[in-house]
């Protein structure tokens, strides 16, 4: 008889040797984090400098690239890329069972980071005459 472990999240039967649930990818062993963030993102912190710097670099590089494709809309398209980056980052690395992280909180964090990155990006573009 094959030993099985039942996932506490979705109640799926998994092999005894499995570390992640086959269905929901939830860790079966306690103490293991479900997702690891390459930016060491802390959802409880007010500001994370790594996210702002990564977003700023992404904004400037996208703006320079889009400037040659469509000069009139390069800033708009770069802003959209940064907004998409922030949304995916916060959505993907948000803890699913965290009661303090609601959709409203997530939206406010994305918008706050977006405004900071865009403001700094515009300053960098104007400072180095890249626009």
Flag whether 43 is in a domain. Answer: no
pLDDT score of 96 = 62
Rounded Cα distance, 117 and 15, in Å = 45
Residues of the chain with pLDDT > 90, as a percent, come to 30
Q: Do 17 and 53 share a structural domain?
A: no
Angle at 36 between CA 31 and CA 37, to 5 degrees: 140
Q: How many structural domains is the chain composed of?
A: 2
Q: Dump pLDDT digits (tens) for 69-106.
A: 888 888 899 999 999 998 888 777 766 666 666 778 87
SS3 24: coil
Residue 10 in any domain: the answer is yes
pLDDT at 43 over 70: no
Tell me if 44 is assigned to some domain: no
Domain range for residue 20? 1-32
pLDDT of residue 47 exceeding 80: no
CA distance 45 to 16: 37
Residue 102 and residue 55 share a domain: yes
For range 107-115, the mean pLDDT: 89
End-to-end CA distance of the chain: 68
Residue 13 and residue 107: Cα distance in Å, rounded?
36
């Amino acid at each position: 008889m094959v030993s099985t472990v039942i996932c506490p999240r979705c109640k799926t039967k998994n092999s005894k040797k499995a570390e992640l649930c086959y269905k929901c990818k939830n860790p079966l062993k306690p103490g293991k984090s479900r997702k690891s963030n390459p930016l060491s993102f802390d959802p409880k912190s007010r500001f994370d400098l790594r996210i702002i710097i990564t977003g700023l670099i992404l904004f400037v590089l996208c703006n320079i690239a889009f400037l040659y494709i469509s000069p009139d809309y390069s800033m708009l398209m770069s802003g959209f890329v940064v907004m998409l980056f922030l949304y995916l980052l916060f959505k993907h690395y948000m803890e699913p069972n965290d009661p303090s992280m609601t959709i409203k909180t997530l939206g406010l964090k994305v918008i706050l980071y977006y405004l900071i990155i865009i403001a700094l990006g515009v300053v960098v573009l104007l400072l180095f005459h890249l626009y």
